[in-house]
Structure 1
Amino acid sequence: MVLRMNRPHKRPDSTVIYFRKRVPADLQKVVGKKVEKISLQTRDPAAAKVVHARIAAEIEARWAQLRRGVITVSQKQAVAMAGEIYRELVAAHEDNPGKPTDWVTKLMMDWAFLKPEKVRVFKMGMAPEKTEEFFEKMRMNRNGQIVQAYLDRKGYRVDHESLVRIKQAANAAILQGREQIMRNAGGDYRADPEATRFPSLEMSSQATASGEPLLGQRSPLDVFDMYAKESKLSHGTIKRWRPIMARIQEEHPRLSDITREWCLTWKARLVESDLDNNTIKDAYLASLRSLCNWAVSNGEMASNPLDGISIKGSKKKKTRQQGFKDSEAKIILEATFDTFSSTFSAQHAAARRWVPWLCAYLGARVGEVGQLRGADIKQDEGVWLVWITPDAGSTKDENARYVAIHPHLIEQGFLSFVDKSGSGPLFYDPRRRRGGSDANPQSKKIGERIAKWVRELGVDDPDILPNHAWRHRFKTVARKVKMDVGTRDYMQGHVPATEGEAYGDFPPDVLLHEISKLPRIEIGQAATSVQGHDDALTDTGTKISA
């Protein structure tokens, strides 16, 4: 196969000759187009070949530099880049510099910041703080377009700190260049004695003999997978965050493509998309911030482009209590005694019968209840306990904990149900699994089905969550009956209220004593009744004095 060489290009309807070359697929997002097309400014084929060769070399160098991703530039390199900007500026005006007065006007702003003795500055305006804000912005960014054009032309993508260094060096170099042009405009073409202060630009090459991806050159998804594995992110977190990284990778094939400026634009786009501020803050920004923090600590990035970027979370107005009212709890718990459809599996029927009661009396998350196995129901020191463990699926903090079984659950026959179910999952059959993944386990479906069922029962207030409301209700009732705070928080898997509360353990009899303070929820009466209960049950179900 004969490869077609890139050569000067002429459109059929024009005599002007162009450079035209397709942008490599991996750079099209960064470059912003699929084809580079540049006029060679000539109709002479011989001259076009020379210009074409120069532009081709420049384009290839630019693409090679773009592939290096975001780089960190030293102070010396920043001054060297400023020197290139200085020489380009002087050369562009050397033959026809114009009048000296033309350059005085352009130098006013530079003098104001770098040679204030040459000018007097009067900050005017009806809002002094706005004027001062504008003045300070111009201190750094007055030549920002010139700097950005240079970086884009060369293919340099730099981190935020490097950009600041380059702008500072360029501001001084541009002032020096404009003063030299002003002297040229006055007829003085002597060489600038200060021009030798700029060092030559030396950019270290990045290459690996092994062919492994360079640090900072891996894709966001590749780095995320490394981060998730090392940090042992939960399946749920990976499921929420990885799609965000995939969307970011569509815009930036390399992690090092991500800059502070892009992050600000990205955040603005997310706000414009009408996403809730809490979703932007806790999902989008949090996921990328965490990834970049890990990348920095592992040499994949020089700095975190999200540092200093945040968004104010939105607070949802509370129009009612977050937990179930007694009337709502009654509707749900009474329905657990209904006869269910014959099409239900035994596990599905068991979930409707027991999951709401367990949520009411354990204070656990519905996901933690849904993943319970028969082996997780244990007796210790004569007390029946539920062992909530990540071994069964997951817990929010990846820690295991015991919760004592409320006497009312035992009276209803929960232990008998567990005994008949065996040591495996209580509320789903692993043999009925259809595909799925660790991020979307069977046990998760239990909570989803229960929530849908609760809504169908008429407990459909949109201001409460149909499963999580049990946790709020548990906390509320626990406060009413003066349950020990440390024990209550431990059983619910909450962070201890104080560092001191984290000390020591929670013996089974203590857990039973505290859980037994919860009033029995009596079903079958006109309304949910509350009766104090501070008795304990032995494993035989016999009442004994607490």
Structure 2
Amino acid sequence: MTDMPTGLIRRGGAYSLRRRVPMDLIVVYDGRKEIVRALGTNDFAEAKRSHARLWVELDEEFEARRATLAVDPDAHIKRKLAEIRPLLARNANRDEPSAEEIECQIEEAQFSLRMCLEEEGEYERRELPRQRLLALLSVPNHLLTPEEQALKDLISDARFDVEKAKSALAKRPEPVQSPVPARLPPARRTAGIGASFDDLIAGWERDRSPQVRTVAAHKAVAQWFVDRTGVSNVRLATADDVRTFRTRLIEEGQTAANIRTKLSRLRTLFGYACEEGIIDTNPAANIRPPADKRPGKARLPWSADDLNILFSGPIHSAGSRPIRGRGEAAYWLPLLALFSGARLEELAQLRRGDIREEPYEVDEETDGLAWCIDINTGPDGNNHVKNAGAIRLIPLHPTLINLGFLKYAQSNSDPNALLFPDLKPNGEDRHGAKWGEWFSTYRRSIGLNDSRKVFHSLRHTFKDYCRGSKLEERVQRQLMGHAPIDVGDTYGVGFGYADLVSGIRAYRVPRLATIAPPASSLG
């Protein structure tokens, strides 16, 4: 019998290393109790060599982490914050979602979050958790968990910044009151030096390094604003001007979604002007987009009948692979969306190594492994993810495994190889954009003509079936990459991968007919 080294396991034909994290380092590894690393080979001899080398590397890694923990117990939290902050900054400069991602656009609209929450009553309902967080300030650090200490640090830092700002404001001389000049007619209100929108956008582009398309979109919105208000001097713009701009757009028949996007971009530019000291307040900060009252505008989830039509079409029933469908992407992307809730681009940019096993605790005495989709920023940090909350693990649904998805994912042993190599990125490096256009054409060709039911609607469908399957709200939000309502619902902070595994295994799509596996999985 072949002598199998400790921690060398074989899953799906390929070898991996599985090693338990030392008890004193579990907190440094974000609560994970085991490390699983794919060795990228199905050859036993090669796997043994890779296993031995990686085992030594992990020994060294453990010692380094242990030394860091001894010097600074909160180092791992600071490291996580350092990783997340650049991601948030980078995503702040990205384009708003496309028309097929209205839900995501609403989720991330740069608007007054507190105002929205107060309207829904959510802000008041979180009063008790806020008081609990503030109570941490009076608790000695040695009585707190590392996560609680990190929260305490953040609250203290924020209070210090507020007091510092108040102190600086108090030292400023009182402004001299001057008569307010009458507002000039729009045609006479021209820009002063350094106060034009062109100057503002040039500075914003230099400091933020947005994509070329993003710059062009913001320049266009600025010109729209100037043309409709006559205000070309950033310093002279007021909230009334922004309201006038909104009114003009409504009168011109612009959709609520387009107006929302234009106001968001305008808000971004004025926000940058505030940061640079060009203006004191953002005139677009509290200007709401109009409500979309047109019937039939909202995206609709797919019904069971819709899904059965889709999965009985030529792609899934007859093995058809149109050129624009890009190979196996045509078969797997709709299924992955339905059984994971992931966004199109999150799926389109996946790599072989993003389909992996993740350990979890079955019970106090038993550990398990479950395959998952790892939504992350990619090996070079350039994957398109909406925000820090979108970085997540989604356990693979049994239906996907039964249809042969693991076999497909493991057909290439290179962990950095794209899972769907036929998907070519567009000018914005988005792998799913062109495919999404093809999918709209395909669904219409098989009789799915409702324009409110697009690929992104599968995400709505997943949400509805999560509710129907009685998944907890916190599990639903984690699976979909939504921000947690409570701090304790964050993965790794009182929240385990086991909860996600249980949730996915409980997820059901009622009345879904049997789906034929792809021909590639039958060999």
The correspondence of residues 98-177 of structure 1 with structure 2, limited to 5 A, is: 147-148=182-183
CA contact (8 A) 1:451 1:467 kept: yes
CA contact (8 A) 1:371 1:426 kept: yes
For 1:296, which of 269, 274, 286 is the aligned residue? 274
The correspondence of residues 331-346 of structure 1 with structure 2, limited to 5 A, is: 331-335=309-313, 336-339=315-318, 344=323
Pick closer, same or farther for the CA change 1:275–1:156 going to 2, 3 Å: closer
The correspondence of residues 21-420 of structure 1 with structure 2, limited to 5 A, is: 75=176, 77-78=178-179, 147-148=182-183, 214=194, 219-226=199-206, 228-229=208-209, 241=218, 243-245=220-222, 247-248=224-225, 255-256=234-235, 258=237, 262-280=241-259, 282-306=260-284, 309-317=287-295, 322-335=300-313, 336-339=315-318, 344=323, 348-381=326-359, 382-391=369-378, 393-398=383-388, 399-420=390-411
Deviation at 1:372, TM superposition (A): 1.4
Amino acid at match of 1:410: I
The count of corresponding residues between Structure 1 and Structure 2 is: 323
Amino acid at match of 1:427: F
Pick closer, same or farther for the CA change 1:266–1:238 going to 2, 3 Å: same
Matched residue of 2:356: which SS? Answer: strand
Deviation at 1:259, TM superposition (A): 5.1
Pick closer, same or farther for the CA change 1:235–1:354 going to 2, 3 Å: farther
Q: Find the aligned partners of 1:496 and 1:329 in 2 and give their Cα distance.
A: 29
For 1:517, which of 486, 506, 512 is the aligned residue? 506
Deviations 1:491-518 (A, max 9, x none): 1111223344337264343322210112
After TM superposition, the structure 1 stretch with the greater mean CA deviation from structure 2, 450-459 or 215-224, is: 215-224
Pick closer, same or farther for the CA change 1:234–1:477 going to 2, 3 Å: farther
| Structure 1 runs not aligned, ≥5 long | 1-72, 82-146, 159-205, 207-212, 529-546
Deviation at 1:394, TM superposition (A): 1.5
Pick closer, same or farther for the CA change 1:404–1:148 going to 2, 3 Å: closer
Q: Find the aligned partners of 2:235 and 2:337 in 1 and give their Cα distance.
A: 46
Pick closer, same or farther for the CA change 1:437–1:354 going to 2, 3 Å: same
Q: Find the aligned partners of 1:234 and 1:493 in 2 and give their Cα distance.
A: 24
Pick closer, same or farther for the CA change 1:253–1:473 going to 2, 3 Å: same
Cα-Cα RMSD: 3.9
| Structure 2 runs not aligned, ≥5 long | 1-173, 360-368, 516-523
Deviations 1:304-362 (A, max 9, x none): 343564443224546999311111111112234244556627x7121111011101110
Q: Find the aligned partners of 2:490 and 2:213 in 1 and give their Cα distance.
A: 26
CA contact (8 A) 1:218 1:255 kept: no
Give the aligned partner of residue 479 of structure 2.
Answer: 491
Instruction: Please identify the structure whose Cα radius of gyration is greater.
Output: 1
TM-score relative to the length of structure 2: 0.53
Higher RCO by CA contacts (8 Å cutoff, separation 6 or greater): 2
Give the aligned partner of residue 531 of structure 1.
Answer: none
Deviation at 1:156, TM superposition (A): 7.5
Q: Find the aligned partners of 1:328 and 1:425 in 2 and give their Cα distance.
A: 30
Pick closer, same or farther for the CA change 1:324–1:148 going to 2, 3 Å: closer
- Please state if 1:502 is matched with 2:502: no
Q: Find the aligned partners of 1:319 and 1:244 in 2 and give their Cα distance.
A: 23
Q: Find the aligned partners of 1:444 and 1:317 in 2 and give their Cα distance.
A: 27
Deviations 1:232-256 (A, max 9, x none): x799976754542455577776644
CA contact (8 A) 1:221 1:242 kept: yes
Matched residue of 1:323: which SS? Answer: coil
Deviations 1:276-295 (A, max 9, x none): 23431x21122212321221
Give the aligned partner of residue 182 of structure 1.
Answer: none
Q: Find the aligned partners of 2:242 and 2:393 in 1 and give their Cα distance.
A: 43
After TM superposition, the structure 1 stretch with the greater mean CA deviation from structure 2, 323-332 or 472-481, is: 472-481
Deviation at 1:479, TM superposition (A): 1.5
CA contact (8 A) 1:374 1:418 kept: yes
Matched residue of 2:408: which SS? Answer: helix
- Please state if 1:426 is matched with 2:419: yes
TM-score relative to the length of structure 1: 0.51
- Please state if 1:458 is matched with 2:447: yes
Give the aligned partner of residue 98 of structure 1.
Answer: none
